[in-house]
Structure 1
Amino acid sequence: MSYAASGSLTATIANYKLMVNGKEENLKNKPVVINGTTYLPVREVSQAVGYNVTLNKGNIMLDNGAAVIG
């Protein structure tokens, strides 16, 4: 299901650096700032910190390969 938005939306490409353990990671997709909130590319940021990303029935799943107990 999708909805149409009325009005306008202003987004700004952010020139932020992603640092992981003191090393800069280059993002192919830049962060975006909309109404003062910064949105990051989930897959790229997650993979940079060691997580795999999958999409399952509308849910974003992050997995670092660690066993889940309990």
Structure 2
Amino acid sequence: MINRGSEKISCEEVEDLVYRYDSFDLAAAVAMLDPVFSERVCVYVSLKEGGPLGLERIAPPWSPPGWLSISTPSG
């Protein structure tokens, strides 16, 4: 679990969302220290085909119904 402010974020839920993309072989959501909210979501991924992939390319689909914006990885 990642503790962002007073919210608990499930690493497994974030990883499940990452796996909706066909370009990723592996994904691991972990906590990253944040000076304001204690922790933030950090996702490490392994690409299937290689090459660069920026957060801006995958950020728009990170808003499915019921998804908390604080659970979204930030750049």
- TM-score tier, shorter chain, comes to under 0.3
TM-score, normalization: structure 1? 0.24
TM-score where L is the length of structure 2: 0.24
Q: Which has the larger radius of gyration?
A: 1
Report 1 or 2 for greater relative contact order, CA contacts < 8 Å, sequence distance ≥ 6.
2
